[in-house]
Amino acid sequence: MSDPIVNDLTFQAATVNGSGSQSSNSVLMRAIFKMGIPVAPKNIFPSNIEGLPTWFQIRVSPEGYMARKGDPEVLVALNPATWAADLKGVRPGAAVVHEAAYSTANAREDVFYYPVPFTQLAKTKIDNDKLRKQLLNMIYVGVVAKLLDIPLEAIEHGLKRHFQAKPKAVPINLDAVKVGMDYWDENLQKQDAHRLVPMQGKTDGLILVEGNQAAALGCLMGGCTVASWYPITPSSSLCEYIGTYADRFRVDPETGEKRIAVVQAEDELAALGMAIGAGWAGARAMTSTSGPGISLMAEFTGLAYYAEVPVVIFDIQRIGPSTGLPTRTSQGDLAFVYNLSHGDTKHLVLLPGTVEECYSFARDAFDLADRFQTPVFVLSDLDLGMNLWMTKPFEYPEQPFDRGKVLDAAAIEKLQGDWGRYRDVDGDGVTYRTLPGTDHPLAGYFTRGSGHDEDARYTESGEAYARNMDRLTRKFETARSAVPAPIVDAKGSPVAVIAFGSTVNAVEEARVRLREGGLEVDFLRVRALPLSKAVTDFVRDHERVYVVEMNRDGQLYDLIRLHLPSDLVGRLSSIRRYDGQPIPADAITRPILELEAVPAS
Amino acid sequence: MSDPIVNDLTFQAATVNGSGSQSSNSVLMRAIFKMGIPVAPKNIFPSNIEGLPTWFQIRVSPEGYMARKGDPEVLVALNPATWAADLKGVRPGAAVVHEAAYSTANAREDVFYYPVPFTQLAKTKIDNDKLRKQLLNMIYVGVVAKLLDIPLEAIEHGLKRHFQAKPKAVPINLDAVKVGMDYWDENLQKQDAHRLVPMQGKTDGLILVEGNQAAALGCLMGGCTVASWYPITPSSSLCEYIGTYADRFRVDPETGEKRIAVVQAEDELAALGMAIGAGWAGARAMTSTSGPGISLMAEFTGLAYYAEVPVVIFDIQRIGPSTGLPTRTSQGDLAFVYNLSHGDTKHLVLLPGTVEECYSFARDAFDLADRFQTPVFVLSDLDLGMNLWMTKPFEYPEQPFDRGKVLDAAAIEKLQGDWGRYRDVDGDGVTYRTLPGTDHPLAGYFTRGSGHDEDARYTESGEAYARNMDRLTRKFETARSAVPAPIVDAKGSPVAVIAFGSTVNAVEEARVRLREGGLEVDFLRVRALPLSKAVTDFVRDHERVYVVEMNRDGQLYDLIRLHLPSDLVGRLSSIRRYDGQPIPADAITRPILELEAVPAS
Amino acid sequence: MSVTLNRIGLARDAYKGAATTLCAGCGHNSITNHLIKALYELGVEPHRLAKMSGIGCSSKTPAYFVDSAHGFNGVHGRMPALTTGAKLADRDLIVLGVSGDGDTASIGLGQFMHLIRRNLDCTYIVEDNGTYGLTKGQFSATADVGSVQKRGTVNTYEPIDLCTVAITLGGTFVARSFSGDGKQLVPLLKAAIAHRGVAVLDIVSPCVTFNDHEGSTKSYEWVKEHEEAIQDPSFIPYYEEVQVDYEPGTTTDVRLHDGSHLVLRKLHELDHDPTDRAAALKVVEDGRRTGQLVTGLLYVSPEAEDFSTREKLPEQPLRDLGEDDLRLTRGQFAEVMSELA
Amino acid sequence: MSVTLNRIGLARDAYKGAATTLCAGCGHNSITNHLIKALYELGVEPHRLAKMSGIGCSSKTPAYFVDSAHGFNGVHGRMPALTTGAKLADRDLIVLGVSGDGDTASIGLGQFMHLIRRNLDCTYIVEDNGTYGLTKGQFSATADVGSVQKRGTVNTYEPIDLCTVAITLGGTFVARSFSGDGKQLVPLLKAAIAHRGVAVLDIVSPCVTFNDHEGSTKSYEWVKEHEEAIQDPSFIPYYEEVQVDYEPGTTTDVRLHDGSHLVLRKLHELDHDPTDRAAALKVVEDGRRTGQLVTGLLYVSPEAEDFSTREKLPEQPLRDLGEDDLRLTRGQFAEVMSELA
Ligand SMILES: Cc1ncc(C[n+]2csc(CCOP(=O)(O)OP(=O)(O)O)c2C)c(N)n1
Ligand SMILES: Cc1ncc(C[n+]2csc(CCOP(=O)(O)OP(=O)(O)O)c2C)c(N)n1
Ligand code: SF4
Ligand code: SF4
Ligand SMILES: [Mg+2]
Ligand SMILES: [Mg+2]
């Protein structure tokens, strides 16, 4: 037996979806987290309800890396259909817990096998007929606990935490866990090197939260009152979380009145249409969707852009084109969303890279939409949105809402009619609006997606049209410095990476690896479109800049090339990954090392 | 009286729409054309059926310039609502024919007035009560004929040509024309310098045709059998022409059977969906729309791209965003169409610049769609599509249809099952398909917009996904050299223009003007996306390249910047015009002269 | 010249809008005028009115009445979604949607139906001319079988009867009328506005330019000859005393949610009970079979819960709520954070 | 072991597809099996079959029958348009669409209705479970009022009754059935396929994972207790002799366009005439009122002209036409050119 490898592994359970393994994985993950060890869980699930292969990974590292790392060190194999491939995928030295019935004849010899007769055990040791199928999975929790040295108390904590809502389930499940532990004690022995040891100070005070859940909280804290949506993976949970939290926190316990409307629309066109109608009438309104829904929202987005109606649109990206792989992640909608709709359109796009930003960008998106009277997109992705992530608890907002330039009856009265809906009084391209219901005879105006002049009158004048379009450009320029600025971490290296969104984790890890190999790499993380001037400055300060993203066509790479003065364009290279899985660090280190021609350490 | 200015003027009639002035303008235009003088008519109409201002311009030039030239030299003013502005717009020395009732007190003194009591004349000289309102417009035809020296025979020809379908109307209208001639003879005298003189050899054998009409003919000659559409200006006439021609040429006179289905769908989503269904089943199918429809077609376009279904989509551009100015022209959909739909999508886009190309690109688009099994867009615009243009008669196609890689039952049999729908047998990214109905047990396959492998089986494999996406890139690269190549006219000047679509006319005229001023400007006209290597070569051969287009954001300019190696990017400048009117030559000469700092001649 | 003011002190002029740009004689213009009359007589406060529409000649009309009210001319066929959103944001708004038969029965059919299903409190007017006016005369999906297009094409497809659709979906106020029949239409419009819930009015409104010829079943001529009004309606607003003075058995009195009444005087023998869904379907279907255009109030369910009520929205408009109403308290926020630990 | 071959010499296995990936017990799987049986017994030529669908668990099922046929799994709610196009391209195709209640009654409602209006010759199956299976159990628009979601939410909105919608639009074959009732469903499926024109089958098909609990009105339990079949159907294909042997007055014989017969044996007293549109609407409405699930053939109009006929398409599929059929002749082309001079 080799030296122990402590707290540094990827655990993977390969099961069949719909079989109840989610609970087991959750319990394991929470138990490890309880031990004070950083965890980064990833759920890799099929576009299916029951019967297809599914995987759950828990990356464990003392440094708290949160990027995906392929090739697990610990495998629980409970799906005969993928057994061969699963086995092939583990690292040399891995611990392979598998259904004893699976053949290991002619199998790899560089791993350690722990055969467990799960089906048999479930049949003989679990009395509950109804729950047997699900409880079978708890048996592997027991086995893995023994395998990795997870204390029983941690497992108990995990169970309690997972079954928060139905505490009765805890003892039944614990019994099944113990079946696994007993089996280990009686039949198996540790052979591989991987184990877990409690840690201090790494997870203290941290929470585990999904990006969509964080965004839902952000919406509520941002004052959202109308959420209209249409179900689609991986965005559904965002509005479902809004609904759940709203039922708790937005309902008057006495009257039952609800201070939000969460409406399941008939499709995405209606979902966005409702949000725009609400935004026009002064509510803070949002919708949430994914690729196919974004395509369906193109026409309405153009209306909101041109008629200048605030609305917040979440795109939890999955991999397209078309239906694509609905349960796989991607950053493939960036370019399309940025100028969604025909004609000359350009949108504000927020690009959260962490669950904290899912929360705070969601919250602040409503301010931005109101300030700039335009659609604000928040582009998250399946990885960020549907997986649990460790983070510090979110901060309570200290600022009041910024409702932007809205004139009430008193303000209109003061202006004595000297008001025009699209007059650029302040020179920033942002004009003053009134809301329907404003009790003043001069407050009303007519909103339209066709040509209009400064006073919102219908016009087909080419000059008025061009003036208006130029003002919209001006407004966009104003917004450029109001959207979240890039985060720059520069140490004066000539080499740098630019990335956005959920790839941040892989980039950070790659930087550590590269540094270990002697290559310092600076980093700018784009957090919004339009791109900031800071991006130009950053590129100017670096000789070679790698743009990392998860799409085929290098969409951010292209946007930056268009943003830069021509003399800087040549400094950029593109690193892309598009297989539907969160990008791992080595998909960044490898090409950089190649291109930098620094021998790998 | 100054020297006569011969055959070089812009005529403009300012009337109210729905009043019947279209016939008068058409008669005048055909009469001038009959004189052998090149004409370039432009109809500037409101998004309205009756009662709003409308203008009709006929540009006349011995050189046959077809670009719009603002500021007419001959005005017929029959709309009191625009009288002041219309008068303001004419050039010094212009001939202004106007309703006598309009005041010319304090009006410009640098033009020549020809007051005509049209209403009065119509009342007293025209007996036909019902048609009086329309015939009033014929009176100005008579006046203008006298004003410009258009012979009566030419007018008669124009009348016959215009009333081809109802010859009975000719004498009634001719009488009204004569009222105008008589009024001139009795009351008015030539004062301005503009006149028309018959020419030889300039219009011989030419035809006058609208771009949408040409495209409709192209569709029929290209073998289109399913045309599904939803009405929208300015694209409606394309499918309406298909319907009209099909009624003549695709109907079996005996059985009444129709060798095409022209279907008015319930909306644009359905229109494209039907075309895709038909393309999948092996028909040559198309749809036609404009901006808002393009936005609604995003989702289905992504399906056709990813499932690889041939379909032809016409976008007759009008100015957006949103409803925008529905009856004004634009080139604002280029960028949006090029990667229409979420995820990584890229499309073939044909960019006709002339009515001949509207015809031949429409025809050939079906071959390209079949060859590359993908949506093929044809981007025209309102100016090209709805105005009449002089051109040589179109050529009859000598090639058979290219149906692309389709395997019939015999071919499948020969392959003995060694066939996979998405296998790249030839290395060009283009794979073999079978059509439903193919009588072979191995011919069937399942088409889907979700993940699929080489054999069209459902898969969520990231590797299979990436392989497929890379093949689509390969296919796109193959198509790059199959789409219409740019047209280059280079004389070795260091200065050049790149443009696409209907701006070609203004560019050509601008080049003449610049040449007259001593500045030779080379020209590359892009005729399709993806951009050809020839664009790179062209830029490499020039020091300064101006990209001319009709949109706010410089969409072609951006696409070229992305296409070029970085060292060439700095050579480009952008010239944009976006007021909904066809770009005039001086909107190109002026900025070029400024930037080239050559004093204007 | 004395100007008559309505109960909120406004003259009829206050309900006017911009000058119409529709064709002279267009049915839509008449409807605009009837609307102005209804709104003026009802004493609707202009600032509480939200005028919503899609795209089409019909959809332009909201610009032609109550200039001082807010209006939203959206995109083609999607007025229902915008309307739903506006009403959710401010349930105090009096939401009035105007659409066309192309806008509603083709591209917008799904949204129209789902709006009805939700019973959104709004008035939904379809200015139905059987054609696409603004795009120059194509058939719409309400064109009757056998009806002839201006250039001669004959329609072979069953029309979509918007009233039937509305009734089968449980629409709570469904009426058909004719742009030329102000006597019938004005009271129906008032009742529609007073009704709490969705009020659908399918109003035949001839297009003089593209669909007023022989062979059309949406022409003035045809409608005049084939209209079969089933009642003679009068509207009595809640703020006026009911003084029905008809012979017993000759009228039906519909009490609306706000206390207004729509009194329907019987015409002919037919005694239509407008609260009977099956009867409503039958009266339309009978009309279809005999080639008559049945007009009047077809169906009403005055007390059905509307969308805002079912969604349990508070009295105060959502859009007026502030940080204190909307943010979790510090305590609640901390509670959520601790749950996530 | 001998294998029984059908009239075109194929074994039942030839009608199978890939292994299902749906949940064990899902109603959709039963429908797949009934479809396999119907297609096998009818002797449908696999290569003539086009299997069309949208997106959802239900829409996945075309992959699970007749593997050798072409199939097209399109985008959510838009199967009708794809189907229309495919049929226009090749009128010889036997076009079979499978959809879900989410796919059809929400996002796809407009296309569904316009397909019916056109009477496209196809079979349109809705596998109706009152929920969005694939996205994990949200209500669909066919969920009944008062029906309870798995997590407890109660639906307050009127369901969209797809059969009612189809009948009012003039759908020419409208039936309701239950995934668990093969005896009824198989003959209805055969008749639907034999019917020339649109055949809509709304088949209640329980979702065992998200909508099979108490409180649901789309559960096995509920349907078993509330199904009210109005007839007992038998299908006699055109290539078999009609040998009806029932007591007179106990059956209705529907002769379909291709010469096949659907013989409907009366159950209970109710004597439903399936060619009477108003009666069809009433039988559904009565069921709704009494809380029964009425199943059987509701309405049929066997001789109505289908879309291809109304559009005057030639016998030969459009997609098989070549240059000579499609291009203007040189003479015609020259004629057009000279007109433009
Ligand atoms: C998405 C989209 N498609 C098409 C159009 C073009 N369009 C404008 S109005 C209209 C039809 C209007 O018909 P209807 O609603 O009956 O109104 P009407 O003009 O007859 O009153 C159409 C198709 C559009 N504006 N947007
Ligand atoms: C445009 C679009 N929106 C949303 C989705 C997500 N989606 C997939 S299936 C589905 C609903 C399926 O419900 P139903 O049609 O009833 O099928 P079931 O799964 O219940 O059989 C939805 C909303 C999608 N694929 N595309
Ligand atoms: S075209 Fe028809 S619908 Fe439009 S304004 Fe004119 S008459 Fe009215
Ligand atoms: S989730 Fe429901 S509808 Fe989907 S396969 Fe499972 S049981 Fe069937
Ligand atoms: Mg209309
Ligand atoms: Mg369903």
Rounded to whole angstroms, the Cα distance separating B354 from B39 reads 15
Name the nearest CA neighbour of B210 among C139, A460, C132, D336.
D336
Rounded to whole angstroms, the Cα distance separating B20 from C1 reads 40
Rounded to whole angstroms, the Cα distance separating B124 from C266 reads 53
Determine the pLDDT at residue C247: 75
Residues in chain A: 601
Candidates A86, A308, A342, A381, partner chain B, best to mutate (most B CBs within 10 A): A342
The string of pLDDT tens digits covering residues D111-141 is 999 999 999 999 999 999 999 999 999 999 9
Indicate which residue's Cα is closest to atom 12 of ligand 2. Answer: D56
* Reported confidence tier of residue C268, pLDDT bands at 50, 70, 90: confident
Determine the pLDDT at residue B19: 87
- Tell me if D6 is assigned to some domain: no
Rounded to whole angstroms, the Cα distance separating B507 from B497 reads 8
Exposed, middle or buried: residue A566 (CB in 10 Å: 0-12, 13-18, 19+)?
middle
Asked if pLDDT for residue D323 goes beyond 50, the answer is: yes
How many domains, chain D? Answer: 1
The string of pLDDT tens digits covering residues B340-382 is 999 999 999 999 999 999 999 999 999 999 999 999 999 999 9
Nearest CA distance, B47 vs chain C (angstrom): 8
Rounded to whole angstroms, the Cα distance separating B346 from B321 reads 21
User: What number of H helices and E strands is found in chain C?
Assistant: 12, 13
Q: Do A295 and B566 touch (CB under 8 A)?
A: no
Name the nearest CA neighbour of B460 among A555, D138, A579, D133.
A579
- The stretches of B56-210 forming alpha helices (DSSP H) are 83-89, 118-125, 132-148, 152-162, 169-187
- Judged by its nearest atom, the ligand closest to the C-alpha of residue D108 is 2
DSSP string covering A208-244: EEEHHHHHHHHHHHTT--EEEE---TTTHHHHHHHHH
ipTM (interface pTM): 0.98
Rounded to whole angstroms, the Cα distance separating A260 from C328 reads 13
Rounded to whole angstroms, the Cα distance separating D182 from C155 reads 40
Pocket of ligand 2 (CB under 6 A): A 230-232, 268, 292-293, 296, 323; D 55-58, 76, 100-103, 127, 129, 131-135, 140, 207
For residue A248, list chain C residues with Cβ-Cβ distance below 8 A: 332
Q: What is the largest CA-CA distance in chain B?
A: 89
Determine the pLDDT at residue C244: 62
The answer to whether A342 touches B332, Cβ cutoff 8 Å, is yes
Assess C178–B contact: CB distance below 8 Å, yes or no: no
Question: Within its chain, how far is the Cα of B100 from the centroid?
Answer: 37
The secondary structure element, H or E, covering residue C80 is: helix C79-89
CA of D186 to the centre of ligand 2 (A): 26
Rounded to whole angstroms, the Cα distance separating C33 from C180 reads 11
- Tell me if C336 is assigned to some domain: no
Rounded to whole angstroms, the Cα distance separating A355 from A363 reads 12
For residue B116, the number of C-alpha atoms closer than 13 Å in the C-beta half-sphere is 34
Question: Within its chain, how far is the Cα of A205 from the centroid?
Answer: 22
**Pairing between strand B285-289 and B226-229?**
parallel
Rounded to whole angstroms, the Cα distance separating A480 from A531 reads 7
**Pairing between strand A95-99 and A194-195?**
unpaired
Residues in Cβ contact with A590 at an 8 Å cutoff, skipping those fewer than 6 apart: none
What is the reported pTM?
0.98
| Residue of A49, A264, A322 with shortest CB distance to D57 | A49
User: What number of H helices and E strands is found in chain D?
Assistant: 12, 13
Determine the pLDDT at residue A601: 44
Asked if pLDDT for residue B27 goes beyond 50, the answer is: yes
Question: Could you give the domains of chain B?
Answer: 5-204 (3.40.920.10), 209-391 (3.40.50.970), 487-597 (3.40.50.920)
The string of pLDDT tens digits covering residues C112-134 is 999 999 999 999 999 999 999 99
- Arithmetic mean of pLDDT, B540-564: 98
User: From the alpha carbon of C104, which atom of ligand 1 is closest?
Assistant: 15
Q: Do B343 and A320 touch (CB under 8 A)?
A: yes
Asked if pLDDT for residue D1 goes beyond 70, the answer is: no
The string of pLDDT tens digits covering residues B123-144 is 999 998 999 999 999 999 999 9
Nearest CA distance, D21 vs chain A (angstrom): 6
The string of pLDDT tens digits covering residues C36-68 is 999 999 999 999 999 999 999 999 999 999 999
The tokens for B218 are 């192209």
D134, D136, D179, D209: residue to mutate for ligand 2 pocket, most atoms within 8 A of CB: D134
Instruction: Identify residues whose C-beta is under 5 A from ligand 6, the ion.
Output: D 100-102, 129
For tokens 């499940």, what's the residue? A173
Taken in order A248, A251, A252, A253, is the CA torsion positive or negative? negative
For residue D75, list chain A residues with Cβ-Cβ distance below 8 A: 292, 322-323
Series of mean pLDDT values for 10-residue runs along chain A (601 residues): 89 94 96 97 94 96 94 96 96 98 93 97 93 94 98 97 94 97 98 97 96 98 98 98 98 96 98 98 98 98 98 98 98 98 98 98 98 98 98 98 98 94 98 98 97 97 98 98 98 98 98 97 98 98 98 98 97 98 97 80 44
Three-state secondary-structure class, residue D192: helix
Residues in Cβ contact with B24 at an 8 Å cutoff, skipping those fewer than 6 apart: B13, B137, B138, B140, B141
- Tell me if C274 is assigned to some domain: yes
- Tell me if D55 is assigned to some domain: yes
Residue type, A276: I
Determine the pLDDT at residue C249: 78
Rounded to whole angstroms, the Cα distance separating C208 from A139 reads 78
Give the domain extent around C225: 12-310
CA of D55 to the centre of ligand 2 (A): 5
Assess D84–B contact: CB distance below 8 Å, yes or no: yes
Rounded to whole angstroms, the Cα distance separating C242 from C253 reads 10
Pocket of ligand 3 (CB under 6 A): B 49-50; C 22-23, 26, 28, 57, 129, 133-134, 207-210
* Reported confidence tier of residue B216, pLDDT bands at 50, 70, 90: very high
Q: Do B225 and D50 touch (CB under 8 A)?
A: no
Assess C96–A contact: CB distance below 8 Å, yes or no: no
Distances in whole angstroms, Cα of residue A15 to Cα of each of A445, B263, D159: 59, 50, 38
**For chain C, percent of residues with pLDDT exceeding 70:** 99
- Tell me if D328 is assigned to some domain: no
Q: Do A47 and D134 touch (CB under 8 A)?
A: yes
- Arithmetic mean of pLDDT, C290-313: 96
The CATH number of whichever domain residue C116 belongs to comes to 3.40.50.970
- What are all long-range contacts of A86-94, with beta carbons under 8 Å and residues at least 24 apart? A86/A12, A86/A14, A87/A111, A90/A12, A93/A2, A93/A192, A93/A193, A93/A194, A94/A192, A94/A194
Higher-confidence position of C71 and C243: C71
Question: Within its chain, how far is the Cα of B531 from the centroid?
Answer: 21
The string of pLDDT tens digits covering residues B30-53 is 999 999 999 999 999 999 999 999
Mean of pLDDT over chain B: 96
The answer to whether C112 touches C104, Cβ cutoff 8 Å, is yes
For residue C135, list chain B residues with Cβ-Cβ distance below 8 A: 231-233, 236
Distances in whole angstroms, Cα of residue C117 to Cα of each of A223, A265, C282: 28, 11, 21
- Tell me if C315 is assigned to some domain: no
Q: Do D134 and A49 touch (CB under 8 A)?
A: yes
Asked if pLDDT for residue D2 goes beyond 90, the answer is: no
429-448 in chain B: CB under 8 A from chain A: 448
Residue type, B362: A
Q: Do C141 and D117 touch (CB under 8 A)?
A: yes
Determine the pLDDT at residue B598: 52
| Residue of A51, A236, A322 with shortest CB distance to D23 | A51
Assess C106–B contact: CB distance below 8 Å, yes or no: yes
Asked if pLDDT for residue D46 goes beyond 60, the answer is: yes
Residue type, A358: C
CA of A135 to the centre of ligand 6 (A): 29
Determine the pLDDT at residue A1: 54
Q: Do C85 and A255 touch (CB under 8 A)?
A: no
For residue D76, list chain A residues with Cβ-Cβ distance below 8 A: 292
**Pairing between strand B9-16 and B53-60?**
antiparallel
The tokens for A268 are 């995405």
* Reported confidence tier of residue B601, pLDDT bands at 50, 70, 90: very low
Rounded to whole angstroms, the Cα distance separating A443 from A435 reads 8
* Rg of chain A on CA atoms, in Å: 27
From C155, which residue of chain D is nearest by alpha-carbon distance?
D310
Indicate which residue's Cα is closest to atom 8 of ligand 4. Answer: D26
Asked if pLDDT for residue B404 goes beyond 80, the answer is: yes
Indicate which residue's Cα is closest to atom 6 of ligand 3. Answer: C23
Asked if pLDDT for residue B179 goes beyond 70, the answer is: yes
Nearest CA distance, C41 vs chain B (angstrom): 30
